[in-house]
Amino acid sequence: MTGLASLAERPETPAENYGLRAEGVDVLAVAIAPGPPGDRQVPEPRRGAVEAAVSYGIDVAARAEAAGITGKAGEHLVVEAPRGSDDLPGKLIYLGVGDESHQSLRRAGASLARATFGARKIRMSVIDSLTSQAQQAFLEGFFLGGYRAPRTGKQKPAEPMAAEMEVTGLLPQALELAETSARAAWLARDLTNTPPDTATSEWMAAQAAEVASSRGLGVEVWDPQRLRAEGFGGLSAVGSGSANGPRLVRITYRPATAATDQNVVLVGKGITFDSGGISLKPRESMPAMKMDMAGSAVVLAAVQAAAELQVPFEVTGLLALAENALGGSSYRPGDIVRTYNGTTVEIGNTDAEGRMVLADALAYAVKKLSPSALIDVATLTGAAALGLGKRHAALFGNDPQLLSALEAAASSSGEPLWQLPLVPEYDFLLESTSADLAHVAPVGAKAGGGAILAALFLEKFVDGTPWIHLDIAGPMEVPADTHEYSKGATGFGARLLIAFLRARAARLRSQAA
């Protein structure tokens, strides 16, 4: 028989090398992977698994078979230390790593984080001998799987995992990159999970200022008066019904020594609560609408990461922040709104507010920042979630190279995208007899393609600039812990943008060499 049962009889490495006798360790984790298919699929050991079986005096193969453990990514078999063995960690975990792809390793890392929550010191050989990218994927999963949403009230708020980790064979760059990526995702999740009575536009602007202060970034904030004075009609209209006035935040990372004059501008939809306005949402749609600012949270997190990574080009984040409330001064269906670039828009549905605030921000980016690449991130349409479900974001764009770069970043980061077309034949649905554009299809048109139509609308404001639109309405949240995502906001897009920025930086450095 192959697998753990036979290999346990002949350990080749001293147990001490895998932390079996390490002082203060209360959890030891070792890896197993699926063995060859057969009547009895016995998991195969990875580094340290055999030595652990010998030291704990167990037949892991028999236990795994009894528990139905095959080594699939995220499965885990928990073994308690035998009596009288005070020098061994109190808990041994055999962790399934599946095919050891990056996706499998992220899921394994998240599973281990949940299985060891509350532990003081964890030692693992799970990623010993793996590549830096594979180690990074596992550690990202571990950090992200340990996330718990902040809580308010009398209950103790969630805290980051405080366990001390000892990882054999760890490559330093893998840890650094995993920490940067996880910090960004945690920030995006924290902001998006914050209740709307706290997370107003003004509060979000203050969070951006705090990030800017801590990272040495430039920051500028437009208040409601300045927005009106400078012609940000979309933001002003959407925020007109709320006591919490709209804001536009510009946060900028500038490298100490720029290797290029290229710049990337990231635009985030930041609707801090979306009631639908006069076109009121149904009751069941309301609770999740505190997360309608997820795009702005992701953008802020990505700019923070750009500073940590010291990418060799300028990265600017624009947070378009407003609360879409129902009030006496709310904007109405039938209103004509003049946006930042002078385009007039006939309002057909006040619940299609996201594209209005993005229109202003995109137009500002084109006019004032002249970006080499312009990317907006938004929980924009239910149509995207309906078409692609809860795992994939919708990808649109007008530049083939930029589209390919985002797809590569999605593959690298594990945050999947699916490209949808910009269909010019649908432009007639945005025609208006009263303004330059309508922002939704006419009542009764039954045209379908809601996500496509929204993207076509946004395209009118980029003036040919290389542009990407990410509709993250589907994967913005999960109802329960799922792989590296914890219940609530996912922070989807933060790791994706970081992977994009890193790849772009690597390409520019290579060209300059």
Catalytic residues: 281, 355
Euclidean distance between CA atoms 492 and 42, whole angstroms: 36
Does residue 35 contact residue 41 with C-beta atoms inside 8 Å? yes
Taking Cα atoms as reference points, which of 17, 39, 38 lies closest to residue 28? 17
Q: Which of 201, 35, 31 is nearest to 130 (CA)?
A: 31
Mapped onto helix, strand or coil, the DSSP state of residue 250 is strand
For the chain, report the end-to-end CA distance as a whole number of angstroms. Answer: 53
Q: How far apart are CA 359 and CA 370, in angstroms?
A: 16
What CA–CA distance (Å, rounded) separates 86 from 21? 9
Q: What angle do CA 41, 42, 48 make, to 5 degrees?
A: 150
Q: Distance between CA atoms of 186 and 414, rounded to whole angstroms?
A: 16
From 258, 283, 286, 261, select the one nearest 273 (Cα to Cα): 286
Residue 502: burial class (beta carbons within 10 Å; 0-12, 13-18, 19+): buried
Strand, coil or helix: 253: strand
Residue 2 neighbours by CB distance under 10 Å: 12
Cβ atoms within 10 Å of 418's Cβ, excluding its own: 16
Query: Which string of DSSP letters, residue by residue, matches 387-410?
Result: HHTTT-EEEEES-HHHHHHHHHHH
Question: Which residue is associated with the tokens 């890896």?
Answer: 31
